[in-house]
Chains A and B, each alone.
Chain A
Amino acid sequence: MLSVISCDKDLTLTEQLGTLEPTNIDEDAETWASVNLDTYDVTQTKIYTAAETAVGPAAKIFDPANDVASVQNIGSASYQSELASIKDMQSKLTGEQRKAIEYWSGGGVLRWNQILRGLVARYNLPPAPKPDGSYPGPDAENPFADPNFPFANPPYAARAYAYVSAAQYEALKAAWHYMYLYDRPSPYKNDSGVKSLMPETDLPSYPSYDAVMSGVTAEMLKLLFPTAVEEITRKAAEQRNAAIWSGRASTSDVAKGLALGKSVAGLFTTRARGDRMGNSGGSKPQWQALADTAVSNGEIPWVSLEAPKRPPMLPFFGLRKTGVSTGCKAWLMTDNDIVNNRPGPPPSTASEQMVEETKEVKYYSDNLTRERLAIVHKWADGVNTYTPPGHWNDIAAEYIRDSNFSEVRTARAFALLNMALHDAGVACWDTKFFYFNPRPSQLNNAIKTGTGVPNFPAYTSGHSTFSGAAAEFLSYLFPEHSEYFNDQALEAALSRMYGGIHYRSDSEVGLAHGKVIGGFAVGFASTDGAD
């Protein structure tokens, strides 16, 4: 028996990133369309204008009418001194620096996606109740206080994944635009004395796309996870340094890349400040009004099953009322799209069907087999995890990695996936708070659960909606794996019923709704010029 035990405790991480060597560098990425539904959206025109306009005392980042020739002059004294400094650094690279090069060789977008999943998990902690039974709210203006800002719950997380991914994608497309405009090769191509320590490509290097990515990502992450500023900025600096140490970029490549990344992040930050997320918590009278509406419709309204009772999680993150702009802005769906695709009502709490569905949940509660508990826990994605949107990023990452996409195409995959997931969150939260339907354990307190009961209404299941949307989009991107994605989505949806926290209707309708939402991402992807 002893022989089967390995004394080695080193973990084998399942998401290993080898060296990214894109099969296609996607020279035409600048022509790929940006989302442009309304004035919220960050378009290529806005990005180019911002990069080529002097703001206050800051000079223009790019001035293509005047500075192309000087950038292309690789014989200039300033560029030659940049090359000399790279050679000097390369002559005394430390082990740490080589590790940094190896780490970022795995692909910047994938690396940042892993880092983001970790941040979401760490910040996905609900506020603890105060002694008087009330719950303090996280305060963006005082993020270090208890509770920390943010509480990265599923809506917050879905939005965070979407902002980071969308901003990276637009910033990289802009990087591609300027790289080909200035067309200055990497240092290792300009000077045979500079070693190439990352895979070589034919991509020009001014501005450095690694630096663009570091700038745009760090700015978005600092906005979304302000108390993690130290590690965010350290990682971002490491990414820029690795670009220089590896001979892929010079200091001026990096400086311009960083400036462009920050400039694009500024546009997305403006969008984030105006996307109505700030109103999603609501107030006590508004929460009461949701319950009153359910009662006036003859339904039993949702109540919190936590002790002490906790206000519902971000009830106005999704909720649309006809003719009024409420709810957090979606990416690929208009307010009308959300209202028009909202699922019909759940079975009435007074109906025979609801009695039957509650009985079915009770059956699963009474028969929580080890096999089903494993499925419940596989998909629980609750407190202190990367949430269901993070789980689907986790699933997608390995397929994206194995496709050897260029950085910009990788960014597109994550951007569209995460826009779909965000929209799924918005549309599902719209549905949940439109109907305000109780959880199974509220209708029958003998129903015990295999995971925590989420603190918001049951219909429809968030996991099912997220999973349907992700599976739909990933099936478009990787059609040969469509069956797998759909099986996983179905398992995720049913896991909530096995765990005793959702009725079958919640899961089935949520899954179907999610697929409709994922269809919006598929519709965009099939016409954006990239495929």
Chain B
Amino acid sequence: MNKPLLIFFLAVVSSAAFAQTLTDGLMMKKGNLCTGFMYMHDQWEDYWEGTLKRDNGNIGKITTQSLVWAGNYGITDKLNVIAMVPYMKIDASQGTLHSMEGLQDLSVGVKYYVFRKEIGEDDVFGVFAAINFSTPLSDYSPDFYPLSLGTHTTNIAYRATVHYKYGNWFANASAAYTWRSNTTLDRPAYDDGQDFYETDEVKMPNVFDAFVSLGFHNGPLQVQAQLTQMNTLGGGDILRQSMPFVSNKMNFTKVGALVMYYVPMVKNLALRGSVDYTVAGRNVGQSTTLLAGVLYTFQFVKPQPE
């Protein structure tokens, strides 16, 4: 690709650019709103009961389908607000357990471009900080794993991200510490796998996650390979032949790939697809997650002429 063409494509990309998530190194420009819907399909059959990998004929395959509304608005070029609302449905392919569905958690975060340094002609190093708040939008039960929509907790995540762009290649690393509130069950006592409690309130361990991606932009195409690691900082294992419990030590390592395509015919329209596969885990299913989304960027503030 010759240089003028590359500059042209980068210009297209940056004008339509939107931050995918809190974990990446992209920002929306001031006054721009990138919004759309994503469909997620997550399925597993094998799971880790503690560290023991197994399947279970009483549930078969667990499938989670989500329709997620996502929005990312540029308050300034350096400060973005990102929000998400998922509607979920979870069902089991075997056994008698009833499916669960409903609105899960509203997530609202702000992301700040803390530091930016241009190195040479095309290379950029950036540091981002984000804080994300999430809270349940419905009264779903956290006591019906693996069919619960979630933990029914209010969470606050503190995240730092570094991003390095080298020509049309980039590398991204992000880590977060998530504080989770306690959650409440519909029953007056429970065993969390470690101890027995005479209360309906469950102490929820906090969570650490790390996310690394490597990728490149090529014209309207962005491709990246990604690795996600999540560790729950406490909690017990699923007991032998028992149901999972909301405060279990849920850990996983996922590898995946993401493709974003800016539709050339329609300005500001992007398609997004990704796949993630769980390669290791503890008290979670070995899931394959497929995601497909359509996102559109509205420009409420005319870009300043360069």
Contacts and interface: CB of A to CB of B under 8 A. Distances in A.
Interface of A: 1-2, 5-7, 9-15, 114, 117-118, 121-122, 125-129, 146-148, 305-308, 365, 368, 370, 373-375, 377-381, 383-386, 391, 394, 441, 445, 447-450, 452-453, 500
B243 A394 contact: no
A377 B141 contact: yes
A5 B199 CA distance: 19
Contacts of A381: 187
Nearest to A439: B96
Given A5-B154, A447-B96, A385 B189 contact: yes
A450 B186 CA distance: 13
B96 A11 contact: no
B179 interface: yes
What 7 A-B pairs are tightest by C-beta distance, nearest first? A307-B57, A118-B196, A377-B186, A448-B98, A121-B191, A128-B241, A15-B198
Contact of B191 (A10, A122, A379): A122
B240 A9 contact: no
B144 interface: yes
A378 B243 contact: no
Contacts of A125: 239-242
B182 A11 contact: yes
Chain A interface, >50% SS class: loop
Contacts of A447: 96
Contacts of B196: 117-118, 121-122, 386
Contact of A128 (B135, B190, B240): B240
Interface string B179-208: 101100111111101011111111110000
B119 to A, nearest CB: 38
Given A125-B240, A128-B241, A12 B199 contact: yes
B207 to A, nearest CB: 14
Contacts of A127: 241
B228 interface: no
B16 to A, nearest CB: 33
B98 A368 contact: yes
B94 interface: yes
A6 B195 CA distance: 23
B189 A386 contact: yes
A235 to B, nearest CB: 13
B94 A307 contact: yes
Interface string B110-137: 0000000000000000000000010100
B189 A377 contact: no
B57 A308 contact: yes
B141 A374 contact: yes
Given A378-B188, A452-B97, A9 B141 contact: no
B306 interface: no
Contacts of A394: 188-189, 198
Given A117-B189, A118-B191, A394-B188, A449 B98 contact: yes
A146 B50 CA distance: 15
B96 to A, nearest CB: 5
B141 A449 contact: no
A377 B242 CA distance: 16
B305 interface: no
Contact of B98 (A114, A121, A365, A370): A365
Given A12-B199, A394-B188, 10 more contacts: A11-B201, A13-B197, A13-B198, A125-B241, A307-B95, A373-B144, A377-B185, A379-B187, A391-B188, A394-B198
B14 interface: no
Nearest to B52: A128
B179 A385 contact: no
Contacts of B237: none
B208 to A, nearest CB: 17
A380 B240 CA distance: 19
7 contacts: A7-B179, A9-B204, A118-B196, A121-B191, A121-B196, A125-B239, A448-B97
A358 to B, nearest CB: 14
Given A12-B199, A308-B57, A378-B188, A449 B97 contact: yes
B99 interface: yes
Contacts of B200: 14
A13 B195 CA distance: 13
Nearest to A128: B241
Nearest to B59: A307
A12 B201 contact: yes
A1 to B, nearest CB: 7
B242 A306 contact: no
B57 to A, nearest CB: 3
Contact of B188 (A7, A14, A122): A14
Contacts of A147: 240-241
Contacts of B201: 11-12
B24 interface: no
A210 B54 CA distance: 47
B105 interface: no
A122 B191 CA distance: 7
Contacts of B189: 117, 121, 385-386, 391, 394
A5 B181 contact: yes
Contacts of A9: 181-182, 203-204
